[in-house]
Structure 1
């Protein structure tokens, strides 16, 4: 991939199903979460400074994500042992999925694999309860994208209904 940002799956695309290891003996698939909005946070590497800050921030705002009914999944090409050490050190309370073998297969299916580096883009996807990508974003690799785009996309999944007045 060049220095240009990747072309992530656009809104309206069906999210490709996948099954990845979340621990050394457990897997999680996107299909298992059907009926639930899902946030996919692809990130380059567990121990990089920006990735650490990004994942810690998402961990801090998990209750906000939970209020929308959404599940957060972190995905990188690091192995499960690396993920387990990183999650324990950073006290993360959401799954980190290993796109390790075949390396980057899920990232490729979402259009966010960095071939030259062998990592993923720093990319975000909000997938609705029916498995449709409703929002995607690729951040410059050294920039923490924060959560504003995620929160806006989640709000658009469940627009607020204003109560009718007594007229």
Structure 2
């Protein structure tokens, strides 16, 4: 008995060594965040499908618990989905999140597409993770199945492999 071939993914996340594309996305109705303004320190981008899905809620809550460790490594955590800023605000308040959630809302998924993290047929972001170094280079990327929380081990391992610079160090 032969098994059916598994379909190849239509795309892959930006691989390590790739310069991360700059972007400007809203964090609130009147504030935006650009990747360029975070240069000089590592950045963790966590693309996720939807604010109120159970897996996404658990994943973002885990990252919120790990914020002190990310900060000890000098890294800024950013969540990105195609949900709007008001949805993000309600979700962050309900889950007590203390990191920015950016709205890749209009044009829908434009930033996720640049990172190879958009599910065209579903209209949502992939569950994709990126660790970007202080110079703006992708140093680690991972695409997780939608229904599986990827946890944080890969992020922590990638951060531990980045060279430490004085600009990236944060005092607890």
Please report the TM-score for the alignment, with normalisation by the length of structure 1.
0.92
Q: Secondary structure at the match of 1:88?
A: helix
Q: Secondary structure at the match of 1:22?
A: strand
Is 1:126 the counterpart of 2:131 in the alignment? yes
Post-superposition CA distance 1:19-48 (Å, at most 9, x none): 000001100000000101000000000000
Equivalent residues in 2 for 1:87-98, closer than 5 Å:
87-98=92-103
Is 1:11 the counterpart of 2:11 in the alignment? no
Q: 2:88 aligns with which of 44, 63, 83?
A: 83
List structure 1 segments (4+ residues) > 4 angstroms apart after TM superposition: none
- Provide the rounded CA distance (Å) in 2 between the counterparts of 1:12 and 1:5: 21
Deviation at 1:3, TM superposition (A): 7.5
Tell me which residue corresponds to 1:48: 53
- Provide the rounded CA distance (Å) in 2 between the counterparts of 1:47 and 1:128: 30
Deviation at 1:158, TM superposition (A): 2.9
Q: Secondary structure at the match of 1:89?
A: helix
Q: How many residues align?
A: 158
Cα pair 1:6 1:138 within 8 Å, conserved: no
Cα pair 1:6 1:121 within 8 Å, conserved: no
- Provide the rounded CA distance (Å) in 2 between the counterparts of 1:6 and 1:52: 25
Equivalent residues in 2 for 1:95-110, closer than 5 Å:
95-110=100-115
RMSD over equivalenced CA pairs, Å: 1.2
Q: Secondary structure at the match of 1:108?
A: helix
